[in-house]
Structure 1
Amino acid sequence: MPFKMKTVIGIPLSSVTSEAAEFPKSKSNGNVNKIINWMSKFSKKADNYAHGIIEHVNLGVKFSETVKGKLSLGARIIQAGGVERVFRQLFDVKKGENLLKASQCYLSTTAGPIAGLLFISNQKIAFHSDRPLTFSSPGGLARLPYKVVIQIRRIKSVNPCENASNPNKKYIQIVTVDEYEFWFMGFICYQKSVKYLEQAIAETQLSF
């Protein structure tokens, strides 16, 4: 399905994901070299990653804009001292909440696919766009990050999907208890993302 992303309209109804290499766990600014090494390893996969994304969707934004977003994200991770710290800065993290995995992917919305980071913790699924998006507002146009937060206890099902005619096109559908659907795509480590999502849900069910 063709996507054209200019202004974000409405709420996410579906999403498809492309999983990236896992971030190193960092608890201090002294781990900058580890983060740089992770980024270097990921850059070696860039061609395959970009090809996989183009296979999934017809991007409405210039690829150069996507690259700028990744560079901005990398700088933010280094400045914060690790992905876990970025997670805590971007979202309200509760006591006892632990980050299980962070993956680069695309979230499908009514306005088109949005590149960003998908965080999987033992309490929620959270997505944050790489770059601010343009929204219409009463006062004109506003540029804000696109964020989605789904509490694990509100998830009804996680459904790994693939294109029947092209098994390399893999997606993750998340359905909430109130029947909202979110689709993610473009994961490099697709199976790991599915694994951690299922793990988070299983642990939550055991706690009740």
Structure 2
Amino acid sequence: MSVIGIPVNSVTSSAVEFQQSKSNGNVNKIMNWMRKFSRKAENYMQGIIEHVNLGAKFSETVKGKLSLGAKVIQAGGVKRVFRQVFHVQKDEKLLKASQCYLSTTAGPIAGLLFISTQKIAFLSDRPLTFSSSGGMVRFPYKVMIEITKIRRVNPCESTSNPNRKYIQIVTEDEYEFWFMGFICYQKIFKYLEKAIAEA
């Protein structure tokens, strides 16, 4: 019976060191990826918690999301909702849509924020009730801001709660719009900056 193998003493120390450094490099890469993933997951979870907490009641928030989801499905997707609700130019492209809240004097209103190559638009999850001469009427709450009319966009956070982040949009005629409760705040802010820079 014969045995074929490599004697241990024939393996050089430099080969062992190379193998260890390669192994350590892989471990470091995996650890860095895990830290990055953990931070993203934590930010995402914080965004979800913040989004849900901004609603008046959990049951109302769920109803609004279901209503919005049904509207998106019936229309055939977010892009189609955007095109049906807002006047869209032929060459205009939707860059991003995100659930959020619009801050109003009556409290935060849940809805979808649309960022396109030409405008920022907001559509409430559910219609709001308004009084008119004929009684009470229900309309979706809509906001539309042309990108060329935006003076500045400011990232903000609450002094009492740094996890509560806002995006302030100030128009040329000094109107202010405050959006909050984003699930992925940083990503939305980047899309806003990109849309404004390329307008």
TM-score range for the pair, normalised by the shorter chain length: 0.7 to 0.9
Amino acid at match of 1:51: I
Q: Secondary structure at the match of 1:111?
A: coil
Q: Does 1:107 align with 2:102?
A: yes
Q: Secondary structure at the match of 1:132?
A: strand
Q: Secondary structure at the match of 2:126?
A: coil
Inter-partner Cα distance in structure 2 for 1:201 and 1:53:
25
In structure 1, the residue matched to 2:80 is 85
- Structure 1: runs of 5 or more not aligned: 1-44
Residue 167 of structure 1 deviates from its aligned partner by 2.0
In structure 1, the residue matched to 2:67 is 72
Q: How many residues align?
A: 157
In structure 1, the residue matched to 2:163 is 168
1:179 corresponds to which of 174, 181, 191:
174
CA contact (8 A) 2:98 2:114 kept: yes
> Percentage identity across aligned positions?
73
Residue 148 of structure 1 deviates from its aligned partner by 0.3
The structure whose residues are more often helix, as a share, is 2
Q: Which runs of 4+ in 1 moved over 6 A?
A: none
In structure 1, the residue matched to 2:49 is 51
Instruction: Using structure 1 for the length normalisation, give the TM-score.
Output: 0.70
- When Rg is computed on C-alpha atoms for both structures, the one with the higher figure is 2
Amino acid at match of 1:174: I
Amino acid at match of 1:192: K
CA contact (8 A) 2:115 2:191 kept: yes
Q: Secondary structure at the match of 2:83?
A: helix
Instruction: Using structure 2 for the length normalisation, give the TM-score.
Output: 0.73
Which deviates more, 100-109 or 165-174? Answer: 165-174
Structure of higher RCO (CA pairs closer than 8 Å, 6+ residues apart): 1
Please show how residues 127-166 of structure 1 align to structure 2 within 5 Å.
127-166=122-161
- Root-mean-square deviation (CA, aligned residues, Å) is 2.0
Q: Deviations over 1:142-193 (max 9, x none)?
A: 1110000000000000000112343211100000000000000000110111
**Change in CA separation of 1:64 and 1:49 when aligned onto 2, cut-off 3 Å:** farther
In structure 2, the residue matched to 1:122 is 117
CA contact (8 A) 2:52 2:58 kept: no
